[in-house]
Amino acid sequence: MPELPEVETIRRAIEPRIVGARITDISLPDPSIAGPAGAESLQAVLGATVRAVLRRGKHLILLLAGNSGVVLHLRMTGALFLCEPPAGTRARAALSFSNGERLVFTDLRRLGKLQFYQNLKPLLLRLGPEPLDNDFTAEALHERLRTHRIPIKAALLDQHIVAGVGNMYADEALFLAGINPMTPANDLDSEAVRSLWRAIRDVLQGAIDNRGASISTYALPDGRRGEAQFSFNVAHKKGALCPRCGTPIERVMVKTRGACFCPKCQPPVLDETK
């Protein structure tokens, strides 16, 4: 699944190519991508100029007039191409621009969305803080976690708690912080939260520097693959040996999502009240 680093990489790639250009055409081979509002709602953006390309969590936003915009959510297998998409991929939508650029949205599992928002504010406000912003402090993270008894892995995936972190980068951050993914979020003391906060930021920034992780369908808009996966310690590595201690990496289910971790470097926290 494209997470914050992948979406940010895409944003940086397409921003200089389409900002200042007008949207001249929207083709929807799969109209369901437009969501409940339907394909007709996207006709409102024809002729609109792209003022900026933004990212909020895992959402990519083409900012238009006022506070309106086109929001692209790639979900599990979505990808965006400014070149000819790879053979065998299915285009669900394509946007054409006045400067000759064409942005193609492919999506094998058809879970992604491309929708027009007349007012972006409700979408932006319902998401948690951006983990790379300056005002996302260790104290702010601790405040958000202290009211949640759910496993810390599940808390990190909750986009209302922190925006943009997904399955693989949550695994990597928990490994660096030495925290077991099943630990209740509100059991973490201030020192553990600070270690986790630092790990989240380091993992995400490192992945951006490596242009995201091409684990499945993700690719850059020019067709190149990201390289962040080559730096993974535990994510997608069940059965491999821990790079720290040599213990085989295990995978457990945390609610509905898998979590890869080292049982030695990330031991469970014993409940001393029992």
Q: Hey, which residues are catalytic here?
A: 2-3, 58, 257
Beta bridge partners of 262: none
Do residues 6 and 226 touch, judged by C-beta distance below 8 A? yes
Residue 31 in tokens? 């109209």
The pair phi, psi for residue 228, each rounded to 5°, is: -65, -30
Cα 46-85-157 angle, rounded to 5 deg: 80
Find all residues with CB under 8 Å of 19, minimum gap 6, and list them.
Answer: 50, 51, 52, 53
Side chain identity at 31, as an amino acid letter? P
Q: How far apart are CA 261 and CA 236, in angstroms?
A: 10
Side chain identity at 197, as an amino acid letter? W
Number of Cβ within 10 Å of residue 40's Cβ equals 10
Sheet holding 113-117, edge to edge: 52-56, 59-63, 69-73, 113-117
Q: How far apart are CA 53 and CA 71, in angstroms?
A: 10
